[in-house]
């Protein structure tokens, strides 16, 4: 079978993501899959900077995954498209967009820690898209590994139903084999060498009892969902392996239960056995509900897989390849992308030509004539398609739901080192912005400074390093700043009247708007005009003028969020009224609101999980309160304390080095953006003062 043609029928395709907390071993796991499937002939280790999937220089230098990388491999007549995602919270956009286009995932846990904070985040993202998941408990070779604790943490921390399908023989340095609880067969590894296959052995005596219990547990859990198995379990009869596999597959695909598997990617254990389960349990594109698009009249359209159906594909990622230029990654839901044809970009309302199509294998490309239904591939040279756009047939225009990304919470001023770097810098930043939907670039209107903004310090640092190294731009960045927001706390009715009588034609706009707090619900505009006191054609300009003014802020120049504005009164002038005059009037109404509605500054607050040895607990807790943080809870984990706290992001810059010095290098932490909260008055005064300087 050739790799690129349709000889792989839809039911033999698996589109899966690998997701987890940072450092759980996703990339190491993916490297093993590539090796066992014969895709690579030598295993590259992450810590040597040699992993196939972490090919970007920044990834190799830092030993972490930054961008999701796609590859394709083949197992037992199936084609598996895999996307290895990053675990660091600053790159969750990569996880979000990957999960958006995948049919299933493998969640990797670090067997020493079980479910970790970022696992919770990516797990929730996957749940949002109803993605079936297998859980791989990795690093069972490591000291402190605890398989059953890790499995239990799935229920405790994620609230998810799980079922243990394989059980480890030995842990840490003793980890030497795996029992398959469906077939009740044990396999022992005689070597860490990946080319030496495990041999079947009898279930060791000391594991018999536990494995029998877990086998029963597996049948009982399945019997909750299947009457035949229930009857057999009740009657003391053993269901066949085929029967168990069939039901296990159904409940996995229906997201009712998450099967759990043990292993050590690094020591080449458990991955090959899991490959079988990936093929056997995870859905093909036709086992999941078809993608739903929206046509031009707002009706739902099901995009049923099939090469002869009209095209529906979602562009989910743009990268710039040094050799061939702009690459647009797309998932094809129905129909096919065919080289040499035109497709409709429904979001932009334009046609684009598919001049060249490729399948991606990490950073290697393979030219193909078509990307078929259910497939994932990349288009070379599309000019006007951005992340989230739908490609379709001109005869059936539709849009698939766009991908939502987090808003920036921090920013940094950036300056070219010399005048000659200015243009180069702007062009390069725009390329990075195109690749990363959470990376923003704009000019501060007041200061004229160029600003880059994003979701975390690491993300900005990686992008700035890429500017310098990959694009050879000499630039200097300022200290990171928190992206504050503004909102109001009181309801009030505010008039904005803009009247200018200068000789001939004048200007006249007059609106009265009720502003109300709209916490967590964003901006809402209601047209409550009756009797045409503000003519219809000036309603939209009023809304636009208001939104525009909101970006400039009310007290300290930060964007205004979470307000409801009801336009309910005003007046007009037969000759002098204009769109521009109503825009001005709306911004004057917002100025009025700044006086009447008790405006406040909001700051991003992050949820932080800090692990510290007991000895330093007091110091770390004291430091949290000095950062205006609030400790929410604590628990003990292996002689260490795990602290959960909420801390304003503004006080978290450089925390890693502070924590290290407080704990003699032994403390670690992770943080994720949680919410926006009002800053205390004294802090607000400081912020306003700094802004006005």
Ligand X SMILES: Nc1nc2c(ncn2[C@@H]2O[C@H](COP(=O)(O)OP(=O)(O)OP(=O)(O)O)[C@@H](O)[C@H]2O)c(=O)[nH]1
Residues at the interface with ligand X (CB under 6 A): 20, 22-28, 45-47, 64-65, 86-88, 138-139, 141-142, 264-266
The partner in contact with residue 291, picked from Mg ion, ligand X, none with C-beta cut-offs of 5 to 8 angstroms by kind, is none
Look at residue 28 and give the partner it binds from ligand X, Mg ion, none, a contact being a CB closer than 5 to 8 Å depending on partner kind. Answer: ligand X
Q: Which of 132, 383, 106 is nearest to 265 (CA)?
A: 106
- In angstroms and rounded to an integer, the radius of gyration of the C-alpha atoms of the chain is 28
Q: How far is the CB of 268 from ligand X (least distance, A)?
A: 9
Residues 432 and 426: their CA atoms lie apart, in Å, by 10
How far apart are the C-alpha atoms of 309 and 294, rounded to whole Å?
16
Could you tell me how many residues of this chain bind Mg ion (CB under 5 A)? 3
Distance in Å, CB of 30 to ligand X, minimum: 8
Give the nearer residue to ligand X in terms of CB position, either 86 or 168: 86
Residue 25 binds which entry of ligand X, Mg ion, none, CB below 5-8 Å type-dependent: ligand X
Per partner kind, with CB cut-offs from 5 to 8 A, the member of Mg ion, ligand X, none near residue 47 is ligand X
Rounded distance, CA 72 to CA 377, Å? 10
Closer Cβ to ligand X, 30 or 385, answer by number? 30
Q: Which does 138 bind (CB under 5 to 8 A by kind): Mg ion, ligand X, none?
A: ligand X
Calpha distance 96→317 (Å, rounded): 11
Q: Which does 44 bind (CB under 5 to 8 A by kind): ligand X, Mg ion, none?
A: none
Which residues, numbered 17-46, are part of the site for Mg ion (CB under 5 A)?
A: 26-27
- Least separation in angstroms between residue 32's CB and Mg ion is 13
Within a 13 Å sphere around the CA of 187, how many CA atoms are in the beta-carbon half?
Answer: 19
Phi-psi region of 347 (alpha: psi -120 to 50; beta: other; left: phi over 0): alpha
Quick one: what does residue 23 bind among Mg ion, ligand X, none, with the CB cut-off 5 to 8 Å set by partner type?
Answer: ligand X
65 binds Mg ion (CB under 5 A): yes
Looking at beta carbons only, is 223 or 670 nearer to ligand X? 670
Q: How far is the C-alpha of 110 from the C-alpha of 150, rounded, in Å?
A: 8
Residue 41 interacts with which of Mg ion, ligand X, none, CB < 5 to 8 Å by class:
none
Q: To the nearest whole angstrom, how small is the minimum distance from the Cβ of residue 381 to ligand X?
A: 29
Q: Which does 334 bind (CB under 5 to 8 A by kind): Mg ion, ligand X, none?
A: none
Q: 304 in helix, strand or coil?
A: coil
Of 65, 76, 66, nearest to 31 (Cα)? Answer: 65
Residue placing its CB nearer to ligand X in the complex, 31 or 180:
31
Task: State whether residue 649 is helix, strand or coil.
Answer: helix
196 Cβ contact partners less than 8 Å away, ≥ 6 residues apart: 189, 190
Question: What's the start-to-end Cα distance of the chain, in Å?
Answer: 68
Q: How far apart are CA 264 and CA 175, in angstroms?
A: 9
Distance in Å, CB of 138 to Mg ion, minimum: 12
Spatial separation of the C-alpha atoms in residues 684 and 691, rounded to whole Å: 11
Other C-beta atoms within 10 Å of 509: how many?
Answer: 32
**Among residues 187 and 333, whose Cβ is nearest to ligand X?**
187
Q: Which does 416 bind (CB under 5 to 8 A by kind): Mg ion, ligand X, none?
A: none
Q: Which is nearer to Mg ion, 27 or 92 (CB)?
A: 27
CB of 314 to ligand X, least distance (A): 24
**Residue number closest to ligand X, CB atom:** 87
- Within a 10 A sphere around the Cβ of 346, how many other Cβ atoms? 23
Nearer Cβ to Mg ion (65/450):
65
Smallest distance from ligand X to CB 264, Å: 4
Looking at the Cβ atoms of 141 and 457, the one nearer to ligand X is 141
Backbone angles phi, psi at 563, to 5 degrees: -130, 150
The least CB distance from residue 364 to Mg ion, in Å, is: 18
* Min CB(567)–Mg ion separation in Å: 50
The helix (run of H) or strand (run of E) holding residue 604 is: strand 599-613
Q: To the nearest whole angstrom, how small is the minimum distance from the Cβ of residue 121 to ligand X?
A: 12
DSSP characters over 193-232: -TTS--EEEPPPHHHHHHHHHHHHHHHHHHHTT-HHHHHH
Give counts: helices (H), strands (E), the chain: 16, 38
The one of ligand X, Mg ion, none whose footprint includes residue 223, by CB under 5 to 8 A per kind, is: none
For ligand X, give the closer residue by CB, 96 or 592.
96
Residue 49 or residue 506: which is nearer to ligand X going by CB? 49
CA atoms of 455 and 439, how far apart (whole Å): 8
Q: Between vectors from CA 611 to CA 609 and to CA 615, what angle results, nearest 5°? A: 140
Q: Are 389 and 345 in contact (CB under 8 A)?
A: yes
Min dist CB 263 to ligand X, Å, is 7
Looking at beta carbons only, is 65 or 72 nearer to Mg ion?
65
Listed ranges 31-39, 64-72, 301-309, 659-667: which one lies at the site for Mg ion (CB under 5 A) = 64-72
Residues that bind Mg ion (CB under 5 A): 26-27, 65
């Amino acid at each position: 079978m050739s790799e690129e043609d349709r000889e792989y029928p839809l039911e033999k395709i698996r589109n899966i993501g690998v997701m987890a907390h940072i450092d759980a071993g996703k990339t190491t796991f993916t490297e093993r899959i590539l090796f066992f499937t014969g895709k690579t002939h030598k295993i590259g280790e992450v810590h040597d900077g040699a992993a196939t999937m972490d090919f970007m220089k920044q990834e190799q230098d830092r030993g972490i995954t930054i961008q999701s990388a796609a590859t394709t491999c083949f197992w037992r007549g199936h084609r598996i498209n895999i996307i290895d995602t990053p675990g660091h919270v600053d790159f969750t956009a990569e996880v979000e967009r990957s999960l958006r286009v995948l049919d299933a995932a493998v969640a990797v846990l670090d067997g020493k820690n079980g479910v970790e904070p970022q696992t919770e985040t990516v797990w929730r993202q996957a749940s949002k898209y109803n993605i079936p998941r297998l859980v791989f408990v990795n690093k069972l070779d490591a000291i402190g590994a605890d398989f059953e604790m890790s499995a239990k943490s799935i229920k405790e921390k994620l609230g998810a139903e799980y079922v243990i399908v394989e059980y480890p023989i030995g842990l840490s340095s003793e980890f030497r084999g795996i029992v398959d609880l469906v077939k009740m067969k044990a396999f022992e590894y005689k070597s860490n060498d990946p080319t030496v296959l495990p041999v079947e052995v009898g279930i060791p005596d000391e594991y018999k009892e536990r494995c029998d219990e877990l086998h029963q547990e597996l049948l009982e859990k399945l019997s909750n969902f299947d009457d035949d198995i229930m009857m057999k379990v009740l009657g003391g009869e053993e269901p066949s392996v085929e029967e168990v596999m069939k039901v296990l597959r159904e409940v996995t695909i229906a997201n009712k239960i998450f099967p759990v598997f043990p292993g050590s990617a690094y020591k080449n254990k458990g991955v090959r056995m899991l490959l079988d389960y990936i093929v056997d349990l995870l859905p093909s594109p036709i086992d999941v509900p078809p993608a739903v698009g929206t046509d031009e009249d707002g009706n739902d359209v099901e995009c049923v897989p099939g090469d002869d159906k009209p095209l529906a594909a979602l562009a989910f990622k743009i990268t710039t390849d040094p050799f061939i230029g702009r690459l647009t990654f797309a998932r094809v839901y129905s129909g096919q992308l065919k080289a040499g044809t035109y497709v409709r970009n429904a979001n932009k309302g334009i046609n684009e030509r598919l001049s060249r199509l490729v399948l991606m294998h990490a950073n290697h490309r393979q030219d193909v004539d078509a990307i078929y239904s259910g497939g994932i591939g990349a288009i070379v040279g599309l000019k006007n398609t951005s992340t989230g756009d739908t490609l379709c047939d001109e005869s059936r225009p539709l849009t698939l739901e766009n991908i939502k990304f987090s808003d920036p919470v921090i920013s940094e001023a950036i300056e070219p080192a010399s005048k000659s770097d200015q243009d180069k810098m702007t062009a390069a930043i725009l390329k990075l912005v195109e690749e990363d939907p959470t990376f923003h670039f704009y000019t501060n209107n007041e200061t004229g400074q160029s600003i880059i903004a994003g979701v975390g310090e690491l993300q900005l640092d990686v992008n700035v390093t890429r500017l310098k190294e990959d694009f050879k731009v000499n630039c200097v960045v300022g200290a990171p700043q928190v992206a504050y927001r503004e909102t109001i706390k009181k309801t009030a009715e505010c008039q904005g009247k803009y009247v200018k009588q200068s000789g001939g034609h004048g200007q006249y706009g007059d609106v009265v708007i009720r502003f109300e707090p709209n916490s967590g619900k964003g901006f809402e505009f209601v047209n409550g005009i009756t009797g045409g006191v503000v003519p219809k054609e000036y309603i939209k300009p009023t809304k636009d003028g208001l939104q525009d003014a909101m970006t400039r802020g009310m007290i300290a120049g930060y964007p205004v969020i979470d307000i409801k504005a009801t336009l309910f009164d005003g007046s007009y002038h037969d000759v002098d009224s204009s769109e521009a005059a109503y825009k001005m009037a709306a911004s004057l109404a917002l100025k009025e609101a700044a006086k009447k509605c008790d405006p406040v500054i909001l700051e991003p607050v992050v949820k932080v999980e800090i692990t510290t040895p007991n000895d330093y607990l007091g110091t770390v807790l004291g430091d949290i309160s000095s950062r205006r943080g609030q400790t929410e809870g604590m628990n003990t984990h292996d002689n260490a304390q795990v602290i959960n706290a909420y801390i304003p992001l503004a006080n978290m810059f450089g925390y890693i080095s502070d924590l290290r010095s407080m704990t003699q290098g032994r403390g670690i932490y992770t943080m994720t953006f949680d919410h926006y909260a009002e800053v205390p008055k004294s802090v607000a005064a400081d912020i306003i003062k700094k802004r006005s300087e």
